[in-house]
Structure 1
Amino acid sequence: MPKSLVSRLPPGLPLILQALSINALPVAVIITASRFLYIHNNVKIPTTLVVLAALVSIPAVYAARIIYRSWSIKRRAARMGAVLPPVWKGKSFGSLDVLKYGLELVRKGYPGDGFWDRIDEFGGLHSMNVLWDLVHITTDAHILKTVLATDFQSFEKGDMFRDTMNSVLGVGVFNADGELWKFHRSMTRPYFSRDRISHFEMFDRHADLALKKMKERFRGGHAIDFQDLISRFTMDSATEFLFGSCVHSLKSDLPYAYNDPLALGIVRSQSAADRFSAAFAAAQEVIAMRSRIGWTWRLMELWTDASKEHMKVVDEYLQPILEDAIRKNRNSTGKGQAEADENETLLDHLVKYTDEFNVLHDETLNIMIAGRDTTAATLTFAIYLLCLYPEVFKRLRAEILEKIGPTQMPNFDDIRTMKYLRAVINETLRLYPIVPFNIRVATRDTTIPNPDPTKPPIFVPAKVGVAYSVFLMHRRKDYWGPDALYFDPDRFLDERLNKYFTGNPFIFLPFNAGPRICLGQQFAYNEMSFFLIRLLQNFSHMELDLNAQPPDARPPPEWAGAEGQRGAEKIVPRMHLTLYVHGGLWVKMTEAERTA
């Protein structure tokens, strides 16, 4: 049975037990000492004084541990010939003011506001010690190259990351380290080893339905939430790709804008697909918030796992599919064959390796997050940018009509020849990378490059995290030039490509890097390219419908004066595990005229 359907201990209980175990020893020592003095020396210490001493011992032990850890880190750094990064120190106890400030801006600000505010001031690397939880924070490409690739063995997702994500990601590939990660990787790698014609046929079926739904709404004069629609397209594609069993979310009615007369008085009944999608998104929101507040998330969920009810809905969908796949594989004669057949689903492929329910459950859920949310987010921001920059839209549509024509279904070779299409996707991924913030944890005392190459390396203690932002790194002017904050697909085609990217490829990491680089990268490029081609074949014009954008999903006035894309925003980018548009992306489009 899936672990979210099995009763678990309250999330706060381990934290309570840990605190008790730490505090029990000094309290026990004081009580034992008082008893010893009374029994052997007939010295009776007043009970009130014993209790007071026991209570004082608790913060005293914590303070001693903090002081010792700080001294130990400095000593170990010096032994390795390394230095510590500059520290962003808060003004209040435990830097709680920094935590409060960061969380407020995560909810209300622009991606990168809050905990990352002083990254430029500190030269691309600093550390924070909020509630004595030390973490290094960076946007330096050389550090990312070390952490993700050249010193890969010294860094992992870490216990805290796994603990935070476990109720949703379980032991899946994104939440695994070491041998377990290698096992998951070896299971999925063969399936992504080559392109499949069946993928394009699948994309085409779901794209046809999505385009039909769009045209029906536009012909009626209504805007659509493209983010909602494309999430349905990628959900249907992902579930068919994974399970061969589509949730058919595109068959449900699309939502109307908040101010559309047809939205008034209409109560939309949720289909099974709607419930699954909503629960899936809500569960990710829970674990994303946990990651932002560190170990204190257990205090917020002291007695109840906030993801539990959402995961019940997800598991109700997954359970019969997984059980059926396991049963079919046990009855088949091909068990153990790792060769991937042309028409088999990913689940068909995975059950050849294992029939453990929880392993299959967690792995498919991990890949669904990668295959559904990431592609939907990139396509949402791509359409947003094409609406903002009509000259890019016209040029891209001209390439599509020239290379493929107004109706032909694209194939692999077509997509490979479309350089401007790839540049548009890459520039979208640069400004709005799928996973904007991430972290790795040191498995041992180690070092990372100093952003200032004239100075000693930076010390990273064992079990300390290195948080990194691809989102902010992709917008650094020293990496991408003086126009780094602006949308310009030509930077992937002209002399800027060689000037900035070719010699330092770690400045562009939308799909991660090193041994954990995304196996589905080409699948994602194919799916995104296919849908954009189909969309621009069918529509000759697109624009944002800002009136349909909910009032609370419009950029605050202070953004308007900012340099680059932030100052041009017409929507509010937000993030859980991946980026999304707060309140949806409301657009209108004009159908292309068909010539005989």
Structure 2
Amino acid sequence: MGRSMIETIDPVNIQAVLAHQFEDFDLGSRNDCMRPLLGEGIFASDGPVWEHSRALLRPNFVRAQVSDMNNVYEKHVSRLIRKIPVDGSTTIDSATEFLFGKSVDTLLANESNSTANSTSNAFAQDFQISQAGILLRIRLGGLKAFYRDKAFTKATEDSREYCMGIVREALANRDSPKSSSDQSYVFLHELMKQSQDEKMLADQLLNLLLAGRDSTAGLLSILFLTLAKRQDILLKLREEVLPKLDGRKPSFEDLKSMTYLTWCLKETLRVYPIVPINVRVANKNTTLPTGGGPNGNLPLFIPKGQEVMYSSFSIHRLPEVFGEDAEEFRPERWEGLKPGWAYTPFSGGPRICLGQQFAMTEAAYTTVRILQEFDHIESRDPEPFKENVTLTLASQNGTKVALTSSQKQ
């Protein structure tokens, strides 16, 4: 339909687009597609607006907040563990606790002593519907002007209104004695010290929730699906985790010292990157370092307005970087491996993900706690892995595994 695309999987070109020639490329029409839900937040803006968002958010991802195991992770991981025999569903509870100061508590749904309400759980569903609609808008390109979807519009409006309600409540109570005495870290409260603009606060929270929810949910779901099918990897992981902790809950330092756990997480993000495909648009006439000329080894001219797509999914499978077995899930390959720009699970350059340490810490903590609680992880899915790509990558068939504990039987 009149739309052209240049695709590349050369790490040299990726480095140019994301870092060395960062100023030559923008997000293009993606901003318009995402703006109904994300406003002018960090994932839906370029230029000075993006720079302001980045500067606003960066101070809040310091180690002290990310490493707060009990307040940020344990409460919700414990609820997840209680839910596993029932449905084992993924959760956005810890992300909303960290960002909003109050969780949507999806893991308390249907419990007799639950304080969760229908509005909070509707938000989780609305957020998912809105994301699916955004992806369709991106795929449609210029044809998105003809796209109408009442479910998408309502879900997007309801998601933003839910978030705006939390922002208004926080602003109204910011000077109360209870708020001042609360020692737990809340992302929203820190942002309020820099701005009281309701829309701006809601925009930034929704942008970070998108990253905090999908990155960890996808990573954990695929990791446990893999562990269930690869008992050899699961055994090595248990041998590293369990003796080191001897039953106690892991600290941030414990997680950082678990080498094989880190390898497993990195290998999951290599084989199944959370954002498998991305696009940038040239905002001026520019070039890529390679791809031009009769042999493809000369600079390639990129005219203003040209879309450039790069696939982390494919780059992460380059045999010349990761070995001839690059298609195989093998955590041991990370011993001494330094792939550089051939490995970009959290992007790179000035737009590298601010929350990558938060996501990796949450995933590591959840993995360790589940291994401590359950003796066996068994696959209930005989089918090979099948990708489901929306704004992020997930398993098409979900995570069909059974977790059992001899201590609880």
- Give TM-score, length-normalised by structure 2: 0.91
Q: Could you tell me which residue of structure 2 aligns to residue 346 of structure 1? A: 187
In the alignment, the residues of structure 1 paired with residue 131 and residue 140 of structure 2 have an alpha-carbon distance, to the nearest angstrom, of 15
Any conservation in 1 of the 2:126–2:156 contact (CA below 8 Å)?
Answer: yes
Which residue identity is paired with 1:525? M
In structure 1, distance between residues paired with 2:284 and 2:342: 26
Instruction: Look up the match of 2:364.
Output: 529
Match of 1:175, as an amino acid?
A
Task: Identify if the C-alpha distance between structure 1 residues 582 and 273 changes in structure 2 by more than 3 Å, giving closer, same or farther.
Answer: farther
Q: How far did 1:291 drift? A: 1.4
Residue 199 of structure 1, CA deviation:
4.3
Instruction: For 1:190, give the aligned amino acid.
Output: P
Relative to structure 1, is the Cα distance of residues 199 and 323 closer, same or farther in structure 2, using a 3 angstrom cutoff? farther
Summarize deviations over 1:316-372 as a string: whole Å, max 9, x none. 42122110222334x489xxxxxxx97331111111222222111111000001011
1:409 corresponds to 2:249: yes
**Hey, what's the Cα distance between the residues in 2 that align with 1:444 and 1:342?**
48
Aligned to 1:572: 386
Q: 1:281 offset after TM fit, Å?
A: 0.7
Query: C-alpha distance in 1, partners of 2:237/2:78?
Result: 20
1:385 aligns with 2:226: yes
| Correspondence for 1:167 among 2, 24, 36 | 36
CA apart distance, 1:592: 4.7
CA distance in 2, matches of 1:141, 1:205: 40
Q: C-alpha offsets along residues 33-73 of structure 1, whole Å, 9 cap, x if unaligned?
A: xxxxxxxxxxxxxxxxxxxxxxxxxxxxxxxxxxxxxxxxx
Deviation at 1:583? 4.2
Contact 1:436/1:578 (<8 A) preserved: yes
Is the alpha carbon distance of 1:443 and 1:592 closer, same or farther for their aligned partners in structure 2, counting shifts above 3 Å?
farther
Specify the SS of the correspondent of 2:274.
coil
Q: Which residue of 2 aligns with 1:448?
A: 288
Q: Which amino acid aligns with 2:81?
A: L
2:404 paired residue among 590, 593, 596: 590
| Structure 2 unaligned residues grouped into runs of 5+ | 112-116
Q: Deviations for 1:545-591, whole angstroms, at most 9, x for unmatched residues?
A: 238xxxxxxx5xxxxxxxxxxxxx2x432011111222422221121
Is residue 200–residue 411 contact of structure 1 (8 Å, CA) maintained in 2?
Answer: no
Deviation per residue, 1:440-480 (Å, 9 max, x gap): 11111000011478742111111211111111111122221
Larger radius of gyration: 1
SS at match of 2:370: helix
Whole-angstrom distance in 2 between the partners of 1:236 and 1:358? 22
Aligned to 1:471: 313
Partner of 1:320: 165
Query: Percent of aligned positions with the same letter in both sequences?
Result: 34
Q: Which shows bigger deviation, 305-314 or 287-296?
A: 305-314
Contact 2:163 2:202 (C-alpha < 8 Å) held by counterparts: yes
8 Å CA contact 1:195–1:523 kept in 2: the answer is no
> Could you say what secondary structure the match of 1:450 adopts?
strand
1:510 is aligned to: 345
1:195 counterpart (61, 64, 67)? 64
Q: Distance in 2 between matches of 1:316 and 1:445?
A: 41
**SS where residue 449 of structure 1 aligns?**
strand
Cα offset for 1:313? 2.5
* CA deviation after TM superposition for structure 1 residue 416, in Å: 1.2
Report the AA paired with residue 193 of structure 1.
V
Listed as ranges, the matches of 1:44-55 within 5 Å are none
1:143–1:449: 8 Å Cα contact kept in structure 2? Answer: yes
Match of 2:121 among 274, 279, 282: 274
Q: Is residue 379–residue 402 contact of structure 2 (8 Å, CA) maintained in 1? A: yes
Which one of 134, 141, 146 corresponds to residue 299 of structure 1?
146
Which residue of the partner structure matches residue 110 of structure 1?
none
8 A contact 1:282–1:310 mirrored in 2: yes
| Aligned partners of 2:69 and 2:252 also within 8 Å | no
TM-score normalised over the length of structure 1 = 0.64
State the Cα distance separating 1:307 from its structure 2 match: 2.5
Whole-Å separation in 1 of the counterparts to 2:151 and 2:282 = 29
Residue matched to 2:323: 481
Which aligned pairs between 1:552-571 and structure 2 lie closer than 5 A? 569=384, 571=385
1:290 maps to 2:159: no
Partner SS state of residue 285, structure 1? helix
2:114: which partner in 1?
none
Aligned-pair Cα RMSD in Å? 2.3
Q: Secondary structure at the match of 2:63?
A: coil
Per-residue Cα deviation, 1:480-500 (whole angstroms, up to 9, x for no partner):
11100010000012x5x1xxx
